[in-house]
Structure 1
Amino acid sequence: MSQSIILPVSYIQIAIRELSNKGITAEQILEGTELSVHSLQEDDYISLDQFISVILNTRKLSNNPAIGLLLGSILHPSTHGSVGWAAINSPTLSDAINIFQRYSQVRTPFILYTTLTQGNQYIIRLTLTDNLKAAHTIFIEAMLMLLQHIIEFILGRPMTEASLYMNSFTPSYVDSYRKYFHCPIHFNSGHLEIRLPLSWKDTPNPNADKHMYQIALEQCQEAHHQLQRNVNISTEIYDYLSANLSHSPTLKHTAMHFGITPRTLIRRLKNQHTSFQKIKDDVYAFQASSYLRRSTITIDTLSVIFGYSDPANFRRSFKRWFGISPQEYREQQTEILKKH
């Protein structure tokens, strides 16, 4: 499983609100996830593993095997953020589905959307790209319900002429499928897909707001760009610290520079098996060794360049990085150069 996958906390907040009506507390839902009500308010995203744990908790606590269908039924497109807003304001039905194809990574990076045309059918195929463990079915059911909501929002009526194909066995709660979905359902299929009449593909969206569509589309593009930065945030931080050696940025200042909270930065780096301090040590160790090998600058001056108010502190840091003092390192490197 990709360790860098992150998901919006809004989905978790919906589950908490729904189950609170049944006397189930947020603390129970978050058990075993290292999450708290406070962290959900402070952070925008959680890891995929945490998300899976929460979803499995909701199924266990609710004692409802159809919890995926229930949660999906209350997912308004706006819950899907800019992706949802762009979809419900798209000019046509196919434009709405294209939004999911292009920007699914922003909200549900574990699902790949593909569209096909076969005969007189317009097919929306879903493929899972990550192992969702025991939560697999719950995720799929919720996303299919969301797609039904958007399709029917544009059609202005139930999608009774459509067909849903599930690449899984018929569940014990199959009656719930018939309750929530408005079209025939076929299990044990080779693919997971919704098949629509081809004539629906270019159905104009009577609710489309051109201005809102453009705004949401720009937000999708920005969110996608930001996601790419988040995936590579350790590299971004490395470059940022390298460019600001003398300022010796703190975790708080670095998080502020990237427009996130310190807690979020810590979590995202943890997902990449690193930490702010480790990256900072790597940057400073590399830069210090480079200065000592390639220049005759004094060690006291070097400590100032690196933002140390006391040269003794720089010497201690250097010894922690390399096991020897800066002077010993310089002499060692000088000897190596003489031999070559």
Structure 2
Amino acid sequence: MPSTYVRLMARAIPDTARLLAGTSLTPEVLTKEGPITVAQQLTCIRNSMAMMQRPDWHLAWSRRVGERFHGPISRAQLSAPTLGDGIDVFARFMSQRVPYLAWREHPGVDEYRLSVTPRMALEELAPILVEIPLFSLACYVRTFQPDYPGSLRLEFEHAPLVAPVVYRQWFDFDFRFGARRNAVSLPTRWRRLVNINCDPALWQAALRQCTLTHHQAGIRGDVETLVINVLHGSLGSGSPVNRAPTLAEAAARLDTSPRTLSRRLTAAGTSYGALLERVRKMLADDMLDASRAVGEVADALGYASVASFDRAYRRWHGRAPRRQLVAGRRESCAALGDHLAS
């Protein structure tokens, strides 16, 4: 992934030695654009969180960064013909900038929603890493339609990281915490809003650069992240037939051979089966809410039967998935109650 975001962090954190501690990165990485690994990025974020004095630091940072520092994605958005075109570029290519997040569009007649789900276990970083890119996209939407603050909604599965009033001091969006998903929602009609700064030549050039960068990321990227991306895109996608790709199929999508892919995964200390298990577990945890039946989740994750999914879930969590439905419903109600009381 690009070093852009670490370089932006360094502008707010003068102690670069502490920022880069534990990453094997040198201060030179802060002087020019270049690739870093997902693990290095996450370590830098943990380091920065330990140094920040303000609990709302990520809100201030998101407001300052906005939609301007996503490379060719930002250039494409700023020159896109319509708001919808700019959002679609973000949804399609943002995973090349932050490969630990997956984006999914949910178009509707009256409302359009773009949701985001972690592709790997982000632990305590998950809420902040979900919030920042959603703020970025919402800021982009606001440049097209600034006069209707109540119609742009941000939903988060987690409880607020600071008091809800602090969020509203930074952004005039409609916030909902303890939601069933992490997403930005807006009226579908907004997608047709014309960009008065549209530049067809710049738009096409930026699209080509997004596509090229996306392809190059697939060739050079961290093999573990690449395989997770393939699996995440195949499972739980809502297609009529959900099936986990075989090792050979995943290798073909990554333009390599099964033997080479297996060897690279072994060198990284993992295996195809282990990554498939990890992705299924993460997706199951995300999908098992009060609105989805256990059988539906089992089918979406490519299990041959509900019994197979039940055995896997018991192995992960020590309890049946149906019990998780009840627990998840209680947790959502508790989070919502905390939000309403704050």
Class of the TM-score when normalised by the shorter of the 2 chains:
0.5 to 0.7
Q: Partner residue of 1:89? A: 79
Q: Partner residue of 1:15? A: 9
What secondary structure sits across from 1:201 in the alignment? helix
Q: Partner residue of 1:140? A: 130
Q: Partner residue of 1:130? A: 120
Q: Partner residue of 1:54? A: 44
What secondary structure sits across from 1:112 in the alignment? strand
Distance 1:180 1:152, change over 3 A: same
Q: What stretches of structure 2 of length at least 5 have no aligned partner? A: 224-262, 269-342
Percent identity of the aligned residues? 23
Q: Deviations over 1:173-200 (max 9, x none)?
A: 4332112221221111101111111221
Distance 1:71 1:203, change over 3 A: same
The answer to whether the Cα contact below 8 Å between 1:68 and 1:140 also exists between their aligned partners in 2 is no
What secondary structure sits across from 1:11 in the alignment? helix
Q: Partner residue of 2:267? A: 273
How far did 1:128 drift? 1.8
Distance 1:105 1:173, change over 3 A: same
Distance 1:75 1:56, change over 3 A: same
Does residue 36 of the first structure (1) align with residue 30 of the second (2)? no
What secondary structure sits across from 1:125 in the alignment? strand
1-side partners of 2:221 and 2:7: how far apart? 24
Partner residue of 1:228 out of 218, 227, 232? 218
2-side partners of 1:158 and 1:29: how far apart? 39
AA aligned to 2:78 is I
Q: Partner residue of 2:186? A: 196
AA aligned to 1:154 is F
How far did 1:211 drift? 1.2
Q: Partner residue of 2:16? A: 26
Q: Deviations over 1:259-300 (max 9, x none)?
A: xxxxxxxxxx999837xxxxxxxxxxxxxxxxxxxxxxxxxx
How far did 1:159 drift? 4.2
> Size of the alignment, in residue pairs?
229
For residues 68-83 of structure 1, the aligned pairs below 5 Å read 68-83=58-73
> TM-score, with normalisation over the residues of structure 2?
0.61
Q: Partner residue of 2:143? A: 153
Distance 1:209 1:220, change over 3 A: same
The answer to whether the Cα contact below 8 Å between 2:6 and 2:41 also exists between their aligned partners in 1 is yes
The answer to whether the Cα contact below 8 Å between 1:83 and 1:107 also exists between their aligned partners in 2 is no
Distance 1:206 1:125, change over 3 A: same
Q: Partner residue of 1:237? A: none
Q: Partner residue of 1:102? A: 92
2-side partners of 1:158 and 1:206: how far apart? 19
Q: Partner residue of 2:107? A: 117
Bigger Rg, structure 1 or 2: 1
AA aligned to 1:14 is L
The answer to whether the Cα contact below 8 Å between 1:77 and 1:84 also exists between their aligned partners in 2 is yes
Distance 1:159 1:81, change over 3 A: farther
The answer to whether the Cα contact below 8 Å between 1:8 and 1:44 also exists between their aligned partners in 2 is yes
AA aligned to 1:71 is W
